[in-house]
Amino acid sequence: MLLFEFDYEGKKLEFRMSHKAKVELEKISKEKQKIFEDQEVLGATLDVMDFANVNQGDAEEKSKEDCEEKKKLIVKHASVLSKVMNSMDDIDPVDMMYVLLHCNPKFKDITKEEWDNIEFTMEEEIGYEELMDIFYEIRDKVFTLLEKMAAPRQKAIPETKLLN
């Protein structure tokens, strides 16, 4: 399915959703989710949840020492938590566009370096804000397509079989 076209150095680049692109995007998504299997990340997440529970309790139940201790844990885990926050974000739209282009057999030889040049040219011609709007819109379409592809389909069952 053609999602976007762009003329670059006399070539019409076609950004298409395909089975190969779907597989690549799922692979990227799984890689982002692997961070939650890390024990350090799990410990940091549990500490943050514990801190949130302490802050939600009654004022009488909270002790300043307990809150201070929890805050120290949050500071200790800041770098780990930033990894978690980054992995919770969706796939970057710029990376997704590269996958959509690279998985098209016509453009499979485009390297990341060439993609950087293409992206720069797109920014120059279209404008950064408008280009990002286009990329985010395409990303939303792709995720909608992925959800539809993952949903089970029901085949039409002939009425004669239903009666038996």
pLDDT digit string (tens) for the chain, length 164 residues? 999 999 999 999 999 999 999 999 989 888 777 766 666 666 666 666 666 665 555 555 556 666 677 677 666 666 665 655 554 456 889 999 999 999 999 999 999 999 999 999 999 999 999 999 999 999 999 988 888 877 776 665 566 655 55
Minimal CA–CA distance to 99: which of 4, 1, 15, 13?
Answer: 15
- Domain range list for the chain: 2-150
CA atoms within 13 A on the CB side of 13: 23
Are the C-beta atoms of 66 and 74 separated by less than 8 Å? no
- Report how far residue 92's alpha carbon sits from residue 29's, in angstroms, rounded to the nearest whole number: 10
- Report how far residue 139's alpha carbon sits from residue 115's, in angstroms, rounded to the nearest whole number: 17
**pLDDT reported for residue 145:** 85
Are the C-beta atoms of 15 and 5 separated by less than 8 Å? yes
- Report how far residue 6's alpha carbon sits from residue 9's, in angstroms, rounded to the nearest whole number: 10
Helix (H) or strand (E) holding 21: helix 19-33
**pLDDT reported for residue 78:** 64
**pLDDT reported for residue 94:** 94
**pLDDT reported for residue 150:** 74
pTM check: above 0.75: no
- Residue 11: φ, ψ to 5°: -110, 140
- Report how far residue 13's alpha carbon sits from residue 5's, in angstroms, rounded to the nearest whole number: 5
- Report how far residue 8's alpha carbon sits from residue 115's, in angstroms, rounded to the nearest whole number: 11
Are the C-beta atoms of 103 and 89 separated by less than 8 Å? no
**pLDDT reported for residue 141:** 93
